[in-house]
């Protein structure tokens, strides 16, 4: 039996349209709210069609020295042009990018997972430090 981690694919977002991208500061002040944008590569556009789309992105924070990560948010993208008239004929499409705000008390690592309905799970990480 495989471990679920063996199914998480990773690649440089500059070369792979499925890989999540976490954009935000490299260091923050402890206890102060900061903004993150989590999405996919801005350089290689992922399709957003009924047949091929990103279903969700989940963001985690793993504090340095802690045993487990904490889920920051789970963001579902539910509209991909579905319609009773057929695929890609619907009136609304969600875009696979979110902005979120958080604060941390310790340095650590942010992890993002995205799920493509055809190409599976993709992961990325970003280290975040504390300002001195």
4 assigned to some structural domain: no
Point out the residues that are catalytic.
Answer: 16-18, 46, 52, 116, 119
Residue 27's domain is classified under what CATH number?
A: 2.60.40.730
Q: Is 83 a domain residue?
A: yes
Q: Domain containing 28: what range? A: 11-130
Residue 5 lies in a domain: no
Number of domains in the chain: 1
Q: What is the pLDDT of residues 82-107, one digit of tens each?
A: 999 999 999 999 999 999 999 999 99
111 in a structural domain: yes
Task: Give the model's confidence band at 75: pLDDT under 50 very low, under 70 low, under 90 confident, else very high.
Answer: very high
Residue 1 has pLDDT above 80, yes or no: no
- Specify if 61 maps to a domain: yes
Torsion of CA 72, 80, 7, 98, to 10 degrees: -20
Confirm whether 125 is domain-assigned: yes
78-112 as b/e: b if 16+ CB within 10 A: eebbbeeeeeeeeeebbebbeeeebebeeebebbb
The answer to whether position 118 is within a domain reads yes
Of the pLDDT bands very low, low, confident and very high (cuts 50, 70, 90), residue 132 is confident
Full-model pTM: 0.92
Q: Is 3 contained in some domain?
A: no
């Amino acid at each position: 039996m495989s471990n679920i981690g063996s199914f998480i694919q990773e690649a440089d977002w500059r070369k792979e349209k499925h890989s999540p991208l976490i954009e935000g500061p490299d260091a923050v002040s402890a206890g102060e709210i900061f903004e993150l944008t989590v999405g996919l590569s801005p350089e290689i556009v992922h399709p957003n069609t009924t047949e091929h789309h990103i279903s969700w992105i989940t963001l985690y924070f793993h504090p340095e020295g802690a045993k487990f990560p904490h889920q920051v948010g789970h963001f579902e993208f539910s509209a991909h042009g579905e319609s009773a008239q057929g695929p890609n004929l619907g009136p609304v499409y969600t875009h696979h990018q979110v902005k979120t705000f958080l604060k941390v008390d310790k340095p650590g690592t942010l992890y993002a997972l995205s799920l493509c309905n055809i190409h599976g799970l993709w992961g990325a990480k970003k280290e975040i430090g504390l300002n001195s």
